[in-house]
Amino acid sequence: MTKAWAILLAGVTGALHVLTAIIGIAVVILIFGQVVLRFAGAQVPPAFEELGDFLFIWWVFLGAAMTLREVGHPRITVFCEMMPAPFRVQVEFAAELVTLGYFIALATLGFQIASVATEPSLSLNVPMTYPYLALSIGGALMLLFHLDEMFRRVRISAGSLLTIAMLVALACGGYWLAQFNIYAFVAIAAVVMFFVGVPVAIVLGTVTIAALATGSLVAMINYPIRLFDGLNNFVLLSIPLFMLAGTLMSYGGISRRLVDFANGLVGWMRGGLGIADIVASVFFADVSGSAVSDTAAIGSIMIPGMVQRGYDRGFATALQSAAGSLGMLFPPSITMILYAWVANVSVARLFLSSFIPGLMVAGSFAIVAYATARRRKFPREPVAGIRLLLCQAAGACPALIAPVIILGGILSGIFTATEAGVVAAVYALLVGLLGYRELTAKTIFKAWHEATISMSRVIFIAGNAIAFSWVLIINQGPQKITDLLTGTTENVVVILILLNIIMVVLHVFLEGASTVVAIVPVFLPLLIQLHVDPVFFGIIVMLNSATGLLMPPVGLCLYISASISGEKLEVVAREVLPFVAALFFNIAILIAFPGLVSFLPGLLMGTR
């Protein structure tokens, strides 16, 4: 690698940091301005929302390039790691080639659609070329970074040439198979690419492009159109905003004060510090909407504290993994917002529906923690006096007000989920700067950077999954799956159990966001046909997705907690099993008593 090449890459990476920060700031100002105008009684120009959508798409693809450069996109590596070293090298090389081909296709197809999309946008009246260019430029940047990675890691040998020949042969075989059965081609191609370690988003994108190409090469132009249309949605913009709010709250001292208050409330019980972990995670979940943020923010405080007080390191790590997963089960859960977008259901109704199931799961986790504490004789914490508890409550008050503002605004219709995200981010910024005074320019930029990477990892998968589901839909995939399942049984409970088993298997390999956007469009038509409430199914999906956060090989909460504690993964995986069992138990209760999901929305929102 030449010095000039290294300087170029460093310059591009630095420019991406600046550009993504500028775009993020512009989005926050734009959406917050929309909120201010509405409260002032002024008419919000339609151009505000359209500009926000276009900036969001640029944010996603530039962020995806930055993510590839710094941390990489999510992939399944467990199978590659089990292979013998010489064979693994060639398999990883094959995965690199597939990824390279995808980036070339994304950059090329993105440029083609940008060059012909000259019609003006609806509100801004600017050529659609400019928003579509985000796909091409993002793809080109990812291609640049991927080539650099290949240059540094790959050494061409006779084995590499054989791998290339095998890929060509497999591509020809796949083309032949697709002519006879597109579903067999899609399934086999996706499974093979997952197993060899191709990133999740790129598996979905590659299969989509390949499936379109089997019809005709011209049909591939539909891929960037569907990718763009899937992301051109104002609701999705709430995801990076809530992620930003979560990171700002973590760096701004909110998580520490929530832990202190939770410990004062329940620490006096046997194993109270562990139960306080669960209570604090519920509080933080109602602010951040992210299981990953919840685990990292609360775990960095609670895991060392529990270990210091005599808790088994493995159990403390597993407990935090489970408590962190609650970030998916309480509003403003980012995965819930994603589900609401995919299933076209009310975000407010979904949020309300989640409270009782979320509290059921939190209570189940607390029972597991209490029973384990009694059996292993974990200590109680000193009883907090009234004065101390009031001081802790006062310190946590700005943090506890945040959920009231966010959820109250959404449920009352004062602002949308996206506007709630920007209100949460601005509130977290003000509390951290003016209230707790723990945010600095450095930590704000770091929080912004982390939110961009977290957001782009999720949304890049979501966009590709929506394009992939479109291919399944035009090939009548959902209808065929519906016919298959209803041909086996028409019992709603049995079908829900079968779908949960399918989701459990998928969550072993895919994170919650991936499964939501991949399976919901496929299974939802069947459930609607069987008169299953999409909101009810959404809550079931959330609980099932939470199990995936606790199980290897994807288990993000498990990995984050283990990295904090330094405990071996196999020990933590064993200790977390009672919490996984508690999740399955709650899923069974909800299937048996679906009224637990619909009670609050029916009480507060009626049938609307």
**Is 447 within a domain?**
no
**Given 172, 203, 231, which residue is the final one in a domain?**
231
Confidence band (pLDDT; 50, 70, 90) for 478? Answer: low
What H or E segment, with its residue span, contains residue 574?
helix 569-575
Q: Within this chain, do residues 257 and 369 fall inside the same structural domain, yes or no?
A: yes
How many domains, the chain? 2
What is the average per-residue pLDDT within 376-401? 77
pLDDT of 606 strictly over 90: no
Q: Which residue has the tokens 């041909």?
A: 487
pLDDT tens figures, 146-187:
999 888 876 666 667 777 788 888 888 877 887 777 778 888
Q: Within this chain, do residues 85 and 109 fall inside the same structural domain, yes or no?
A: yes
**Given 192, 210, 231, which residue is the final one in a domain?**
231
Q: Within this chain, do residues 255 and 207 fall inside the same structural domain, yes or no?
A: no
Of 201, 230, 291, 293, nearest to 56 by C-alpha is 230
Q: Within this chain, do residues 177 and 282 fall inside the same structural domain, yes or no?
A: no
pLDDT of 312 strictly over 90: no
What one-letter code names the amino acid at 168?
V
**Is 467 within a domain?**
no
Q: Within this chain, do residues 216 and 248 fall inside the same structural domain, yes or no?
A: no
**Given 204, 231, 258, which residue is the final one in a domain?**
231
| Tokens read off for 101 | 């081909």
Q: Within this chain, do residues 116 and 262 fall inside the same structural domain, yes or no?
A: no
Highest mean pLDDT among 203-217, 343-357, 411-425, 452-466: 343-357
Q: Which residues contact 348 (CB under 8 A, 6 or more apart)?
A: 410, 411, 413, 605
Looking at every residue in the chain, the average pLDDT score rounds to: 83
Give the residue, 524 or 482, on which the prediction is more confident: 524
Question: Considering the entire predicted model, what is its pTM?
Answer: 0.78
* CA–CA dist 566, 559 (Å, integer): 10
Render the burial of 369-392: b for 16+ CB within 10 Å, e for the rest.
bbebbeeeebeebeebeeeeeeeb
Sequence length of the chain is 608
What range defines the domain where residue 515 resides? 236-438+475-605
Highest mean pLDDT among 44-58, 464-478, 500-514: 44-58
**Is 180 within a domain?**
yes
